[in-house]
Structures are given as structure tokens and as C-alpha cells.
Amino acid sequence: MESDDRQLVRQVQGGDQRAFRTLVERYQRKVFAMALGMLRERGAAEDLTQEVFLKAYRHLGNFQGASSFYTWLYRITTNLCIDQLRKSRRFVEVELEDQAFEGSAEMVAQPLGFDPARAFADREIRERVLRALDMLSPNHRAAILLREAEGLSYEEIAETMGCSLGTVMSRLFHARKRMQAELSVLVEPAAAEEGR
Amino acid sequence: MDNELGQLIHNTLEAESNEFDLAARVMARLPAPSSGGTPRGWRLFWVPALATAGALALFLTLSGHDNSITNDCAIDQLDVTGASATVLKLNETGTTVVWLNEASEEEEL
């Protein structure tokens, strides 16, 4: 996939717009998922996704391939989302925990108490998840989305967000802890349902 | 994905983005492709060079002078940042022409 991306990027740099369409089709759902997780509103996420690809197209001439195309694309996405959230001031930025974190980002990865596959069928669960994401600061939200929704490694997240590995682990630790607290309300109805 | 919380986030966003498709809208908003897909580096060189040559030819035609141009100008100082400069001297009039082509500044990501 990565070498294929590089080939497509070279074709776009040579003026081939069909190659760019292939890249859009390949990554549009991932970029949209990231934008939706960050912004929560579908319309805003759609507009931002378009903006990401238009910006990527404008700057692709300068893309040297030092990083992979998708981490470059996620960097554009993350930066645009964080800019938009800062402009709308829809959050309180508290990230004092980012410093000096030496634990494991996985240490609070406890069972939720219900089947995550329920999210596919249950819109209410999805709405709860998006609301819980909305409670996180933009940087914590971006870190957990890059990890869980996009499947990036810690190193790739650090590269995308322009921070250290320790900061990534700290952001993930606190984001997961907060998310689990916000979503604990889902466990009781699930347990009650199973008891019937 | 190594935990239930991660799977829940992943499944939520996968379900929400499943039908999403804006490729046509993005493609409609792209600028028209440049002729022949000339690589950017070559465009940066040739566009200013052709513009300079064209302007010079126009200047010479309008001013009615023959090929009395040289590049043996006495230049005291010439500071150019982010642009290419062409310096020419028109012998008959003694006029020195300094032609600058400024490169556009790249937008930050």
C-alpha cells in the first residue's frame, strides 16, 4: 500500500489527476472518520474532509516522501481539525498531564462490559461514543482517534502530531481513562439486557 | 486494535463513514491540470524565463532599437531574495534594465 501510494503521489506530481482521485477514494473514509471524531458534526466533518484533500493537492508538489503519504495526510487533517476547534472554542484545554509520563498507555485498557460490535447497529451507542470523544481536549481526542480509528503506531502518531513518544502515551492514557468513565453508563443497560 | 474501547471507537466511526463518498466533489474543485503535466521545478524555471524574454522582446520592439544589448553592466550592489534577477544594458541609450521574477511563497501546511 505504501509503495503504491508513493507511485500515485509521483503520478500526481507529474500532473495526473486520476491518480489523485485514487488517493481520495482510498483515504476519504478514514479522513472523514477522523474529522467526525474530532468535530462530531457531520456537515463540518464533510467540509473539512474536502478541505484536507484540496490542501493536500495544492501541497503535493512539495511532498518529498520523507514520511508516508497517509501520515502526511493525517497531519493535515489533525491540524485543520484542531484549528477549527480552537476557532470555535468548544473545549477547555487542560493538558497538564502531557508532561513526564512514564507509564504504559495500555494500563487502563480494561473490558467495557459489553460487545463493541453493538456500535454497528445501535445509533444511540455511536452518539454516546461521539459525545464522549467531545469531552476530550483536541490533542487527546486526536491521539486516541489516530490510534483506535486509524490504527497508527505510537511512532506514527508522534510524527503526525509533532510530539514525543512519551507525550503520545500520556495523551492516550488520559484519553482512554476519560472515555471509559464517560462510557461506563453504557455498561448498565447492557448488563440489564443480558440479565433478561 | 487491542482493547474493547478501541474497537468501540473504531466500529462507531466505521459505521458512520461507511457510505461516505465525496471523490466527485473534490475532483470538481481541483484546478485544471497544467498542459502536459509539466513538473513543478521546470515550471518554476521556464515560466519566469519566458516572461523575461517576452518582456524584453516587447521593450525592444516598442523602443525601436536594434540588438544593441549587452550584459557587461557595472553593478554596485544587487540584493535579491526569493526571486531571480536579469540585468541588461541597452547600449544606445545607456539604460540598464533590471528584471525581477518573484517566486510565490509556499503556504504552510
List the single best residue of A20, A28, A29, A39 to mutate versus B (max B Cβ within 10 A): A29
Taking domain A2-88, whether its CATH number is 1.20.140.10 is answered by no
The average pLDDT across A73-78 equals 96
Residues of chain B in contact with residue A106, where contact means CB-CB under 8 angstroms, are 2-3
List the single best residue of B2, B4, B9, B109 to mutate versus A (max A Cβ within 10 A): B9
Q: What is the pLDDT of residue B62?
A: 65
DSSP string, B31-81: PPPPGGG--HHHHHHHHHHHHHHHHHHHHHHHHT--S-EES----S----S
- Per residue in A133-143, pLDDT (tens digit) is 999 999 999 99
What average pLDDT does the structure give for chain A?
Answer: 86
Kindly give the pairing relationship between strand B83-90 and strand B95-102: antiparallel
Cβ contact A112–B4 (<8 Å): yes
Q: What is the pLDDT of residue B35?
A: 54
The length of chain A in residues reads: 196
Nearest CA in chain B to A32: B17
Residues of chain B below pLDDT 70: 1-2, 33-47, 59-69, 76-77, 79-83, 90-93, 100-109
C-alpha to C-alpha distance for B6 and A176, rounded to whole angstroms: 9
B15 found inside a domain: yes
What kind of fold does domain A96-195 have according to CATH? Arc Repressor Mutant, subunit A (1.10.10)
- Per residue in A125-170, pLDDT (tens digit) is 899 999 999 999 999 999 999 999 999 999 999 999 999 999 999 9
Cβ contact A129–B9 (<8 Å): yes
No. of H helices and E strands in chain A?
Answer: 9, 0
Alpha-carbon Rg for chain B, nearest whole angstrom, is: 27
Nearest to B13 among A25, A147, A149 (CB): A149
Q: What is the pLDDT of residue A129?
A: 93
Q: Report percent pLDDT > 70 for chain A.
A: 80
- Nearest by Cα to A75 from A155, A142, A1: A142
- Per residue in A88-107, pLDDT (tens digit) is 865 555 555 555 455 555 54
Nearest CA in chain A to B8: A116
User: Quick check: helix, strand or coil at residue B92?
Assistant: coil
CB burial class (10 A; 0-12, 13-18, 19+) of residue A96? exposed
Domains A2-88 and A96-195 share a fold: no
Q: What is the pLDDT of residue B42?
A: 52
C-alpha cell of B101? 521574477
B10 found inside a domain: yes
Task: Provide the pLDDT confidence category of residue A1 given band limits of 50, 70 and 90.
Answer: low
B84 Cβ neighbours under 8 A, 6+ residues apart:
B48, B100, B101, B103
Q: Report percent pLDDT > 90 for chain A.
A: 65
The dihedrals phi and psi of A89, each to the nearest 5 degrees, come to: 50, 45
Nearest to A17 among B2, B12, B33 (CB): B33
Domain-by-domain residue ranges, chain A? 2-88, 96-195
Contact criterion met (CB below 8 Å) for B44 and B103: yes
Distance from CA of A69 to the nearest CA of B (A): 14
Cβ contact A148–B11 (<8 Å): no
Contact criterion met (CB below 8 Å) for A69 and A23: yes
DSSP tag of A62: G
Number of domains observed in the structure of chain B: 1
Q: What is the pLDDT of residue B86?
A: 76
C-alpha cell of B104? 510565490
Strand arrangement of the beta sheet that strand B95-102 belongs to: B69-70, B83-90, B95-102
Residues of chain B in contact with residue A116, where contact means CB-CB under 8 angstroms, are 4-5, 7-8, 10-11
Please tell me which residue, A66 or A51, carries the higher pLDDT value: A51
Residue B76 belongs to domain spanning: 4-102
Please tell me which residue, A176 or B83, carries the higher pLDDT value: A176
Mark out chain B residues that contact chain A at CB-CB < 8 A.
Answer: 1-18, 20-23, 25-27, 29-30, 33-34, 36-40, 106-107, 109
User: Quick check: helix, strand or coil at residue A22?
Assistant: helix
Q: What is the pLDDT of residue B88?
A: 73
B37 Cβ neighbours under 8 A, 6+ residues apart:
A14, A15, A16
Q: What is the pLDDT of residue A72?
A: 96
Q: What is the pLDDT of residue A195?
A: 47
Contact criterion met (CB below 8 Å) for A22 and A8: yes
- Nearest by Cα to A83 from A10, A138, A30, A21: A138
Q: What is the pLDDT of residue A105?
A: 52
Contact criterion met (CB below 8 Å) for A142 and A82: yes
B62 found inside a domain: yes
Q: What is the pLDDT of residue A104?
A: 56
Residues of chain B in contact with residue A75, where contact means CB-CB under 8 angstroms, are 109
DSSP tag of B3: S
Q: What is the pLDDT of residue B106?
A: 41
DSSP tag of A65: S
